[in-house]
Amino acid sequence: MTSDIDESWERALHDAAKTFDWPCMTSLVRAYVCHLRGAASPTSLPEVKAVLQLLRENLRYAELRAVADAALGQGLGDAVVRRQYAQALVDGDNPAAALLLFENISADPLAPDTEQIEALGGVGRCYKQLFIVTTDPARRAVYLQRALTAYLKAYGEDPGRFWHGINTVALLVRANREGLPLTEREDPGGTARNIAAAILDMVDALPEPDAWAKATACEALLALGRSNEAVRRGNAFVRASDVDAFKIASFLRQLVEIWELDTTDAPGDTLLPVLRSALLNYRGGGVVVETRDVRAFRLAEAPDERLEKVLGGDRYQSLAWYRNGLARCRAVAQILDANQDGIGTGFLVRGSDLHDRLPPILLMTNGHVVPENLPAADAVVVFHGLDLDAGHRCQFRVVRRWWYEPSESPGLDTTLLELDNYPEKVEPVPLARRLPALTQQSPRAYLIGHPRGLAQPQFSLQDNLLLDYDDTVVHYRSPTEGGSSGSPVFDYQWKLIGLHHSGGFDTPRLNNYGGTYPANEAITLQAIKARLQEHPPVAEDVR
């Protein structure tokens, strides 16, 4: 590490997070862990706490665990360090291991009272997660009861920490909805409403409620059956000055896992898209979209003036932007082989947008997907997002290959395929006239695909910082996972700017800058259209 980074680990990590440079952050954390393990004397505890908090805010749980473990190994057994370690474990889907740490802190007489209470809430969080992931009915009931006991005790010891109280409310509502037995509690619904009303009064009395307070008020209003007001508080939450990726992801998880909101009914049809849209802006990561979110009748609904009044013009535009992204999902397909294994991704385009000799609609994917990895005749093209509309699996076969450029340079790694039929009520992706200006603040490139060959009908909207481009390729942050090959890459207006085909940690920089950096790479539309003029398409039957 260079000396200027050694002087301020927190600043270097903050800079990496600000530009969504996760590979850089991972590298910095590795170096910081080595620094902690090699230090002759204990490192500054405030510095370690600041680093842990920054990692948590950016959902970097693996790095958080590594730093916390190194700090503990150096003798920094502060309750905050242990709690952050436990929180990273539970948020990383290890609730049983986290439970041991939280119980240790809550029983530690040397830990400050505030940390003991927070750890008690952590115990509730672990049991809540165990309740969610457990399938055995008897054990689920036990875990729910234990979560309630821990949250109620934490709330009773300090009612000002109303986030423990609102978790109690949410679990009581869930128990009432499922008819789960609770110890000495005859009316869980009534108890939940009473606590929710008290918490709402407490939040409304705050002169400047923070993001957590606004999220808490939203949940309290859900418990009281005041859905429209809950949507307004959810909108206020994502606008809060102190909101971050961790808070958004945590609140979103709570609404989906405990309140069981979804996008088919109010208020989930508004709250969840707003939160997911905000998460894309803050996280620089991915948002999973389920099939029911992209059904035709849902996306065809006329804009509701009520929503604009509730959310305000800016946030309503954000909701509309997210829905446009869902519409693009409908034109994206997974490419499978004869064994139903995911090979890559493809998407529908208008042939006339590319060349006048092409048929009206085509599937675009990478040359290394079809035909290099999979002969066109063996490809099965499945539009998972349309299954619910069609009432059956929406899949097609390739009948003609119109154009192919090999993956080996100077090829453009592109294939244009004609299918035996096309799904109804699906708009091919529109093409952008130009690439986004690099001078604008934090330009983004959004990718929709099937990472890791997932067969489950879902999509991952990847939100990546646009890095650079030339006439042939465009680079953007964060290498994607296998299965994303052939995915469409969009600008902020959800118009196509490129065809994703590769990514790596040592991608050569463009425009004679020299060196390498971690980046995705897509073939630009301009390059594909220009090559089509040089080498016009010719139909080739594949069956």
Q: 40 or 381: which carries more pLDDT confidence?
A: 381
Pairing of strands 444-449, 458-469: antiparallel
Assess contact for 150 and 121: CB atoms under 8 A.
yes
pLDDT of residue 289: 75
Judged on CB neighbours under 10 Å (0-12, 13-18, 19+), 250 is middle
User: pLDDT grade, residue 2 (50/70/90)?
Assistant: very low
Q: For 204, list phi and psi in degrees, rounded to 5.
A: -65, -20
Q: In this structure, are strands 488-490 and 444-449 parallel, antiparallel, or unpaired?
A: antiparallel
Query: Which residue in the block uniquely carries the two structure tokens 């069981």?
Result: 260
CA dist., res. 431 & res. 543, Å (int): 30
Q: What residue segments make up the domains of the chain, in order of their start?
A: 159-329, 333-419, 444-534
pLDDT single digits (tens) 189-212: 899 999 999 999 999 999 999 999
Q: Is the pLDDT of residue 86 over 50?
A: yes
> Structure pTM?
0.78
Averaged pLDDT for residues 486-493: 92
Q: What pLDDT is recorded for position 122?
A: 95
- Mean pLDDT to the nearest integer, 326-353: 91
Decide: 482 and 533 in contact? Cβ < 8 Å.
no
Burial of 92 (0-12, 13-18, 19+ CB in 10 A): middle
Give the residue, 514 or 480, on which the prediction is more confident.
514
Question: Hey, what CATH topology would domain 444-534 get?
Answer: Thrombin, subunit H (2.40.10)
Radius of gyration of the chain (CA): 25
| pLDDT grade for 273, boundaries at 50, 70 and 90 | confident
Compute the average pLDDT of residues 157-169: 92
Higher pLDDT, 420 or 279: 420
Q: What is the pLDDT of residue 147?
A: 96
Q: What are phi and psi of 536, to 5 degrees?
A: -60, 150
**pLDDT tens for residues 222-237?**
999 999 899 999 989 9
What distance in Å separates the CA atoms of residue 381 and residue 394, rounded to the nearest whole number? 8
Is 164 in contact with 149 (CB distance < 8 Å)? Answer: no
**Cβ(241)–Cβ(422) below 8 Å:** no
What b/e string do you get for 514-527 counting C-beta neighbours within 10 Å, with b at 16 or more?
Answer: eeebbbbbbbbbbb
- Res 453 pLDDT > 60: no
Highest mean pLDDT among 409-423, 430-444, 469-483 belongs to 409-423
Q: 195-199, 453-457, 474-478: lowest mean pLDDT where?
A: 453-457
Q: Using an 8 Å Cβ cutoff, are 39 and 74 in contact?
A: yes
Q: Closest by alpha carbon to 450, among 374, 344, 348, 372?
A: 344
Distance CA 439, CA 336 (A): 39
CA distance 73 to 409: 49
Among the residue ranges 53-62, 274-283, 369-378, the one predicted with the least confidence is 274-283
Segment 143-165 shows an average pLDDT of: 93
Report the pLDDT value the prediction gives residue 313, as an integer from 0 to 100.
Answer: 59
107: left (phi over 0), alpha (psi -120 to 50) or beta: alpha
Residue 29 tokens, joined: 């954390």
Taking the CA of residue 389 as centre, how many other CA atoms within 13 Å lie in the half-sphere pointing to its CB?
21
Write the burial class of residue 511 (CB in 10 Å: 0-12 exposed, 13-18 middle, 19+ buried): exposed
The pLDDT of residue 1 is 40
At residue 283, the pLDDT reads 58
What 8-state DSSP symbol labels residue 520?
Answer: E
C-alpha 346/C-alpha 371 separation (Å) is 13
pLDDT digits (tens, 9 = 90+) for 357-405: 999 999 999 999 999 999 999 999 999 877 666 666 789 999 999 999 9
For residue 19, the 8-state DSSP code is T
255: Cα within 13 Å, side-chain hemisphere: 32
Exposed e or buried b for every residue in 460-473, given b needs 16+ CB within 10 A? bbbbbbbbebeebb
Measured CA to CA, the distance from residue 41 to residue 39 in angstroms comes to: 5
Q: Binning pLDDT at 50, 70 and 90, where does residue 296 land?
A: low
- Provide the token pair at 121: 């809430």
In the predicted structure, residue 5 carries a pLDDT above the cut 50? no
Q: Cβ(219)–Cβ(254) under 8 Å?
A: yes
- The CA–CA distances, whole Å, from 188 to 175, 194, 225, 226, 330 equal 7, 10, 15, 18, 42
